[in-house]
Amino acid sequence: MSALFLSNYPLKTAGLGVLALIVINWIVDPQNALVWSVALIFAGVGVLVGAILGRGAEKRAKTIRASLFGAALMMAGSLALSLIAQLDLASAGLTERAFGVMAGVMLIVTGNFLPKTARPLTAQRYDPARRQRVERLSGWILVLAGLVYASASAFAPADMANPLSIGAGLSALLIIMALHFWLVRGTRDTQAPS
């Protein structure tokens, strides 16, 4: 029953729920905005990808639901960690590490499913073979970056954790941008047979 609810909840309600969590997060811990806004950007990209690339209304809604669910989970986690720190139940350092691990896991999950978004060949603007290679590589890069991000947040010395995790995230982003630039520059040399 709960699985059915999770796969069918109304999109507008979910969007409003995420929005409410953002506002509560902002009120409780405005200094944490930079950290959770990064997670929200990834969720936003997921919603956009779902809305633009999804095959059919049902598939689109499914992808958007998953992204909103991920965003809500991140916001709820961030809120819980902020409250734990404010109530002195754990040190600020520990909550920061926990959030880093959460962000790393989100990168891993996003990267894992990125190459699984197959688009109709007739709707593709770029060379399908090249697009497939770019998405496969991007997925692997995001997963590896997520592993580094989560591991650095969890185990690296306090002064090294942030440079290592942010460095891994930014490097992955730059490589993926370069790959997509290569995709856009390429001509469509693989035509779908008619």
Partner 1 sequence: MSTVFKALSDPTRRRVLEMLRRGPMSAGDLAAEFDVSKPTMSAHFAVLREADLVASEKVGKSVIYQLKLSVLEDALLGFAQAFGMSVRSDTSDPTPSNDKEVSDP
Q: Binding residues for partner 1, per CB under 8 A?
A: 111-116, 118, 120-122, 128-130, 132-133, 136, 139-140, 143, 190, 192-194
Q: Which is nearer to partner 1, 121 or 174 (CB)?
A: 121
Q: CB within 8 A of 193, min separation 6: which ones?
A: none
What is the smallest separation between the CB atom of 119 and partner 1, expressed in angstroms? 9
Q: Which is nearer to partner 1, 92 or 184 (CB)?
A: 184
Q: CB within 8 A of 3, min separation 6: which ones?
A: none
Q: Which is nearer to partner 1, 17 or 50 (CB)?
A: 50
CA distance 42 to 27: 22
DSSP tag of 88: T
Please classify residue 71 by burial: count the beta carbons closer than 10 Å to its beta carbon, then call 0-12 exposed, 13-18 middle and 19+ buried. buried
What is the smallest separation between the CB atom of 110 and partner 1, expressed in angstroms? 10
Q: Which is nearer to partner 1, 46 or 111 (CB)?
A: 111
What is the smallest separation between the CB atom of 136 and partner 1, expressed in angstroms? 7
What is the smallest separation between the CB atom of 49 and partner 1, expressed in angstroms? 14
What is the smallest separation between the CB atom of 117 and partner 1, expressed in angstroms? 8
What is the smallest separation between the CB atom of 133 and partner 1, expressed in angstroms? 8
CA distance 68 to 104: 17
CA distance 42 to 152: 20
Which letter, b or e, does each residue of 10-48 get, where b requires 16 or more Cβ atoms within 10 Å of its Cβ? eeeebeebbeebbeebeeebeebeebbeebbebbeebbe
CA distance 162 to 84: 21
Q: Which is nearer to partner 1, 117 or 162 (CB)?
A: 117
Q: Which is nearer to partner 1, 157 or 193 (CB)?
A: 193
